[in-house]
């Protein structure tokens, strides 16, 4: 089996320089930030995107350092199992027994040596020693492990793979074995491997043009002229553009003016599946942070009414902030669970969107830490909660109205099984697939976006109509 990515030249032969100690010199700000973020993710179960954003905002790194910190965080998380496997022969102690800070520093440095050809191995190792805890002997241990790792070459002498074929594939693709086995059963080994490798790729930066203010082509021209960014139109979503990474989108001039929202192309298709009419009444019952809510409002030409529900006031504030920036005035926010709020809006909506909380196993490109936290039992728990939300939301749909159920998961327990149970208990609803759609639906009327086939995040969605 071929290695996951090309080995960097800087990690091929570390030589004597690979273990040179920096003599107390401060580490690079990019590596310092990355280590802090990875430690929070490891020790506190924080989410990488929010912690990284907070760190980058507080530190105000130069664009180059911010890009390297981001690469190190997500690279180390995506390839965590693979990195542990290739590091293991160089450590006399089991990696899982180490202090979290030591573990993340080893992984982060191994990622640089093995994957990033422009990063000198000696510089990565020097900073790793500086970033290690000051406990006596720890710096020497980190130095010895990484010197050995760099000297032998990260992939010139890989350990023998596990004998179990699923374990071997899981190590190579850096996934938990239980997910590998599920996806092999569902897609076949070749497709499952392609899916995992796509999940480990850097996702594109995709923007949704705010059609209330600008066309897609005009947005692209402004991004090029004002922010110096390359762009191209998305293949499936008619309002989407893919742009080259050029710093934080929130700092671009086009962002402050409300010309776009950051949104993956698959996510853009969900509001289009509901297809709300201008002037209608629509509900988004799991609305925060408001990305799909504001898209619904744009499709409605900012005419009508959108009920936006969320359990937390702080999250609803993000919906209101997004609406204000985009110039949207028809969103009416309500704090609380849908089960408590739905009775006040019984049969009041022409369309209802249930973008249900789920395992997030379809968006591992963006949230790679999730795959190391999920367990098979989580799917059943998520399924029960999804069914409760869907049943409550259905009471808000008027006769003849539409209901869309969507998740950023590919797992049947969170999709087909929830829909099957819903239809059995709500016989006045039937599947209602659109006759035409940017991405052809499957035979059962489901929208399925797959990273390795469509270049998008993984999403599943289906539309029902009430009799």
- Alpha carbon distance 362, 366 (integer Å): 9
What three-state secondary structure class fits 464? strand
- Alpha carbon distance 124, 115 (integer Å): 12
pLDDT for the residue 157: 65
| Residue 270 in domain | yes
Phi/psi for 247 (5° steps) reads 90, -165
| Residue 4 in domain | no
Phi/psi for 14 (5° steps) reads -65, -35
- Alpha carbon distance 114, 71 (integer Å): 13
Domain count for the chain, please give it: 4
What three-state secondary structure class fits 276? coil
Tens of pLDDT, residues 188-225? 999 999 999 999 999 999 999 999 999 999 999 999 99
Residue 343 pLDDT more than 80? Answer: yes
What three-state secondary structure class fits 6? coil
Residues 124 and 142 in one domain: yes
Residues 193 and 253 in one domain: no
- Across the range 63-69, mean pLDDT stands at 92
| Residue 158 in domain | no
pLDDT for the residue 154: 52
Residues 29 and 104 in one domain: yes
Q: What does the mean pLDDT of the chain come to?
A: 92
Residue 258 pLDDT more than 60? Answer: yes
CATH number, residue 354: 3.40.50.150
CATH number, residue 123: 1.10.940.10
What three-state secondary structure class fits 403? strand
pLDDT for the residue 160: 83
| Residue that terminates a domain, selected from 262, 279, 303 | 262
| Residue 13 in domain | yes
408 is catalytic: yes
- Alpha carbon distance 162, 288 (integer Å): 42
Q: Which of 349, 358, 408, 449 is catalytic?
A: 408
- Alpha carbon distance 455, 160 (integer Å): 32
- Across the range 105-124, mean pLDDT stands at 93
CATH number, residue 214: 3.30.70.1170
Residues 359 and 220 in one domain: no
- Alpha carbon distance 321, 325 (integer Å): 6
Reading the block at residue 184, the tokens are 């092999």
Q: What's the alpha-carbon Rg for the chain, to the nearest Å? A: 24
Residue 424 pLDDT more than 70? Answer: yes
- Alpha carbon distance 287, 334 (integer Å): 10
Phi-psi region of 310 (alpha: psi -120 to 50; beta: other; left: phi over 0): beta
Q: How far is CA 16 from the centre of its chain?
A: 39
| Residue 273 in domain | yes
Nearest to 239 by CA among 257, 258, 265, 204: 265
Residues 452 and 380 in one domain: yes
Phi-psi region of 336 (alpha: psi -120 to 50; beta: other; left: phi over 0): left
Q: How far is CA 230 from the centre of its chain?
A: 23
pLDDT for the residue 427: 97
Residue 8 pLDDT more than 70? Answer: no
Phi/psi for 267 (5° steps) reads -65, -35
> Residue 6 — pLDDT band, cuts 50, 70, 90?
very low
Reading the block at residue 220, the tokens are 């692209």
pLDDT for the residue 143: 96
| Residue 323 in domain | yes
pLDDT for the residue 245: 76
pLDDT for the residue 397: 98
pLDDT for the residue 151: 87
Tens of pLDDT, residues 291-339? 999 999 999 999 999 999 999 999 999 999 999 999 999 999 999 999 9
Contact indicator for 76, 108 with CB cutoff of 8 Å = yes
Residues 232 and 89 in one domain: no
pLDDT for the residue 252: 87
CA distances (Å), 460 to each of 56, 75, 363, in order?
Answer: 32, 26, 11
pLDDT for the residue 387: 98
> Residue 4 — pLDDT band, cuts 50, 70, 90?
very low
pLDDT for the residue 155: 53
Residue 177 pLDDT more than 60? Answer: yes
Residue 152 pLDDT more than 90? Answer: no
Residues 72 and 132 in one domain: yes
pLDDT for the residue 117: 86
Of 368 and 120, the structure prediction assigns the larger pLDDT to 368
Tens of pLDDT, residues 274-299? 999 999 999 999 999 999 999 999 99
Q: What is the pTM for the complete model shown?
A: 0.92
Residues 80 and 191 in one domain: no
> Residue 153 — pLDDT band, cuts 50, 70, 90?
low
Nearest to 146 by CA among 166, 163, 129: 129
pLDDT for the residue 1: 41
pLDDT for the residue 161: 85
Contact indicator for 247, 318 with CB cutoff of 8 Å = no
Residues 189 and 248 in one domain: no
Contact indicator for 100, 44 with CB cutoff of 8 Å = no
Domain encompassing residue 237: 205-262
Residues 372 and 407 in one domain: yes
Residues forming a β-bridge with 351: 282, 402
> Residue 251 — pLDDT band, cuts 50, 70, 90?
confident
Residue 20 pLDDT more than 70? Answer: no
Residues 83 and 62 in one domain: yes
| Residue 397 in domain | yes
| Residue 91 in domain | yes
Residues 216 and 344 in one domain: no
């Amino acid at each position: 089996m071929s290695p996951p990515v090309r080995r960097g030249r800087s990690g091929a032969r570390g030589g004597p320089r690979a273990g040179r100690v920096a003599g107390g010199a401060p580490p690079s700000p990019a590596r310092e930030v990355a280590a802090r973020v990875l430690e929070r993710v490891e020790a506190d179960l924080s989410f990488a995107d929010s912690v990284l954003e907070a760190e980058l905002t507080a530190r105000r790194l130069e664009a180059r350092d911010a890009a390297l910190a981001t690469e190190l965080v997500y690279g180390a998380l995506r390839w965590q199992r693979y990195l542990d496997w290739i590091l293991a022969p160089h450590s006399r102690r089991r990696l899982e027994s180490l202090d979290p800070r030591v573990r993340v520093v080893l992984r982060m440095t191994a990622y640089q040596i093995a994957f990033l050809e422009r990063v000198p191995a000696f510089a990565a190792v020097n900073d790793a020693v500086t970033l290690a805890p000051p406990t006596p002997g720890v710096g020497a241990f980190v130095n010895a492990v990484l010197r050995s790792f760099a000297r032998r070459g990260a992939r010139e002498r890989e350990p023998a793979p596990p004998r179990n074929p699923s374990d071997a594939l899981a190590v190579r693709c850096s996934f938990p074995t239980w997910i590998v086995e599920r996806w092999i059963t569902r897609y076949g080994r070749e497709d499952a491997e392609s899916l995992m490798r796509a999940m480990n790729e850097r996702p594109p930066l995709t923007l949704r043009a705010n059609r209330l203010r600008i066309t897609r082509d005009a947005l692209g021209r402004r991004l090029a002229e004002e922010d110096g960014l390359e762009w191209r139109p998305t293949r499936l979503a008619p309002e989407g553009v893919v742009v080259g990474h050029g710093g934080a989108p929130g700092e671009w001039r086009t962002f402050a003016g409300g010309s776009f929202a950051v949104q993956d192309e698959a996510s853009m298709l969900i509001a289009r599946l509901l297809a709300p009419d201008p002037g209608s009444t629509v509900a988004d019952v799991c609305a925060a942070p408001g990305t799909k809510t504001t898209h619904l409002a744009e499709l409605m030409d900012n005419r009508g009414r959108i009920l936006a529900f969320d359990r937390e006031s702080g999250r609803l504030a993000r919906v209101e902030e997004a609406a204000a920036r985009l110039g949207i005035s028809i969103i009416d926010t309500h704090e609380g669970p849908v089960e408590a709020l739905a009775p006040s809006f019984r049969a009041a909506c022409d369309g209802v969107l249930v973008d249900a909380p789920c395992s997030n196993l379809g968006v591992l490109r963006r949230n790679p830490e999730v795959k190391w936290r999920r367990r098979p039992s989580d799917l059943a728990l998520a399924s029960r909660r999804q069914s409760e939300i869907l049943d409550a939301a259905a009471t808000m749909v008027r006769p003849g109205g539409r209901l869309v159920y969507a998740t950023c998961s590919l797992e049947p327990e969170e999709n087909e099984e929830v829909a099957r149970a819903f239809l059995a208990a709500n016989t006045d609803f039937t599947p209602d697939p659109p006759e035409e759609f940017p991405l052809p639906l499957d035979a059962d009327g489901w929208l399925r976006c797959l990273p390795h086939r469509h270049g998008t995040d993984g999403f599943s969605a289906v539309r029902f109509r009430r009799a």
